[in-house]
Amino acid sequence: MELEELLLDEEGTFSLSGFQEFTFLPRHQQLSERVRKRLYYGWDKDCSLDNLSSPVADIAVELLQKVAPSPIRRLQKKYVSHVSREACISPCSMMLALVYIERLRHRNPEYLQQISSSDLFLISMMVASKYLYDEGEEEEVFNDEWGAAGKVDVQTMNTLEMNFLSAIDWSLYTDPRELFEVLSWLEG
C-alpha cells in the first residue's frame, strides 16, 4: 500500500484525520510489534513504548561508554533510565540516535573523544526525537525540557545541540533501511 493510499479518504480526497491516528498505519504497527517482542517491552499492547526497556538501556550504556570514552560524566544505566522516562524516549529515537553515533564514529571520531558519554546520550536522543517527532506545532521538542530530563541547563543543551549538528555536518536524514539494520543488530 502506497503512502498516498493511506492518506486518502473513501472519496479519494486528502484527509488530515490520518495524522491523528498515525499509530494505526500498517508499517508503524508492524514496527511497533517487532520492537515490543524483540526488545523486551512485554506483551501488554496497552504498555507504552515511550521509554527504553532495560536490555536496550544496557546496550546504550555499553555502546556509548565505548564510543565516547571520557571518564567525565560517564554514562550510567540509572541516568539512561531517568532520561528515558522523563523525556519519553521511544525505541525509534534510540535506533536513529545509534545511526547518528555510527556516522560520527566514521566521519568525526575527534568529536567522540571530546564529549562525555552522558552528554552524547542526551544530545543524540534529543536530536533524534526532534527529527522524528517535532513537526513544529503540536509535537514540539524543547531543549529546556530535555535539559531538565538530563539535569543540565538550557544553555548547555543549546551548546551540545549546535556542537552535535556541526560534528555530524547536519546530516540527519536516514534511509529507513539503516533503521532496520540497527533494529536487526539490537535484536541479535
CATH code: domain 42-187 is 1.10.472.10
- Where exactly are the structural domains of the chain? 1-38, 42-187
Give the number of other CB atoms < 10 A from CB of residue 63: 17
pLDDT at 30: 64
- Cα separation, 148 vs 150, in Å, equals 5
Cα end-to-end span (Å), the chain: 29
**For residue 51, is pLDDT > 90?**
no
Q: Is the pTM of this model over 0.95?
A: no
**For residue 31, is pLDDT > 80?**
no
Higher pLDDT, 36 or 154: 154
| Residue 58 CB contacts under 8 Å (≥ 6 apart), including other chains | 77
**For residue 63, is pLDDT > 90?**
no
Query: Which of the residue ranges 29-38, 70-79, 166-175 would you say has the lowest mean pLDDT?
Result: 29-38
Higher pLDDT, 91 or 22: 91
- Cα separation, 34 vs 41, in Å, equals 10
- Cα separation, 49 vs 65, in Å, equals 24
Report the amino acid identity of residue 115: I
